[in-house]
Structure 1
Amino acid sequence: MDKADGMGRALAAGIRRTFSALILEFRESAAYQVKFDAEGNERQGIAESTQEQYARNLDTIEEAWGDDPVASLEAFEIQKVLDKAFRETPAAGRVFRSTLSRLISWGIPRGYRSDNPVDHTETPDSAGTYSPWPPEAFELFFEHARVDLHLAVYSGLFTGQRKVDVLKMRRPLAAATEMPLVAQKTSDRVPVQIHSEYRSLIDAAPVDSDSPSIALHLRADGVAWSYEGFKTAWGRELDKPEMALFRQRRWVFHGLRKNAVNMLLEVGCSEEHVSAIVGMSAAMVHRYSKEVSKFRLARSAMKLLESGWESQRIHVLGSKRKPG
């Protein structure tokens, strides 16, 4: 009887096109299930590294709106949840918003509704969440963090790739100037370029004797880092008293991605260049570009003031003598 009742409720939910029905379909679809190619690379579905977050948010969505038709949810209701439930945790709010958006988008061509109300909500403020590492962060890390984490930091800095993609990197051939990879989040092929200093770091790094052409980032025992293993080791290093500033100032691995973008923009790369090298959306690169441009314009303005100061000084300070 219980099984029959359950099937009846599921059927009713499907007919009413509720969130419960949509979530059930989505979880069973190729868009959610992880698929691997012949080489063991993830090609479909939600990335294994984010499955737990997605599952947790899908449970939250079902608890909040499970019995409601998907078509009845309005933007103001979503915004209310983002404003209240995630006011103190904007990073979690962004993940929740992203999960809900992807779920509803998947349901649109399947008749659950014709638009995505998430598009009309605000993204939780991300100010300061992923700050680039300042010089003191690198100095602190390389002095106190375990050595087998160092190369991954250099990889994040010189390539601008996400942690999950950094840890999948394969050791490039000796003459190679690039090491293309498939970004797990977007499934796009990224033509990662190898900077000369980064090349020397790669060449000096230990080699996995069992598969020297495969793993780039290795633990101290010579075994390739797994995502979860690296994440655990990273957390333990940041718990050291000497590394307290990393927690206090929110210096995270993802901040290295911003370092890479800023470096490329600072030396004059176009936004298109940066997007191609780092594998970041044009909109996000443009956002970073505006921030970098402020500093570039400020420096340029000071040079102009320096060169024209003699003609301006009399109008600003009158006859006041120069110091010294």
Structure 2
Amino acid sequence: MHTLKLNGNHLRGVIPSSISEGRSLQVLDLGNNDLEGTLPHWIGKLSQLHVLVLRSNHFHGSIPRQVIGLPNLQILDLSGNHLSGAIPSNLTNLLAMVNASQNNSNHLEEYSSSGATYTNQIKISWKGWDVEFVKVLFILKCIDLSNNSLSGSIPFKMGSLQGLIALNLSRNHLSGRIPKTLGHMEQLESLDLSLNRLNGNIPLELEFLSYLEFLNLSYNMLDGKVPHGGQFLTFGESSYLGNLKLSGIPFTNISVCNNSSGYGNCTSIERIGEAKNSDGEMIGWAVGLGLSYGLGFSVVIGVLTLNKRVRKRAFDFYDVVILAIDGCIRG
């Protein structure tokens, strides 16, 4: 058996240990059920596993190091459970995620039986949305541990997963600083660390993530200046909400929450940017800009009036531009 998908049923109880005999299993999807207990250590025996989805169940306890030791694992989704403890640090054992190169095959094998063909379909959280992938691409490598009770810091070895495309650690109790090593994840397109207890500044090394399209650092305790290079030029206020000590943010309104948990009872306050220190300065800047334009226009008109040669060349250039525009319209 290569694929076992029982997603979206009402299954209860624990995962039976007999599944550990499926040494050829590539896809194990038991998400969106009512399964409970701890994550079994024997999952580490499924060395051929590419996809492990156990999201939206009632699993508790810590994440076994054996799960983080699967060398071929590309998709790990344990979101929406009651997992606690620290994120295992043996992340370098996830060899398929460490390797940034792409496999020659473009999707997991299609299986044929009795003339029928079965293609794997996996639904995961992708850049803030639940998306179903009809074919599990080999370039799709992601970790989703969101909506649990994980604590401790983000392991610095997380940055060794240079093939990872999406990382979601939101809605946990993670603390400490954002590791600078995350800047080594050169393939990363989506990073969600929101609704945790992270502090310190946003590492400048994250500017090196040239493929980053989605960033959510909201509702933490971050401080310092927001990086303004690389992909950070494309992120709006929603990426930083609830971090009151951040500065250099390119927007004027920021939502804050009144409770310590980070959600609910949110209001909006005005935040003055670095280029706008007071209404008086804005008025002065506008007046200065108007005078500059007026002075420049006067100089141009004066030169055209007093200098015959310059005036002739300006009018000749004007005629050429008009003829070019007219030719484009007629052509």
**TM-score, scaled relative to structure 2:** 0.23
Determine which structure has the larger strand proportion and give its number.
2
Structure whose CA Rg is larger: 2
Higher relative contact order (CA 8 A, sep 6+): 1
Determine which structure has the larger helix proportion and give its number.
1
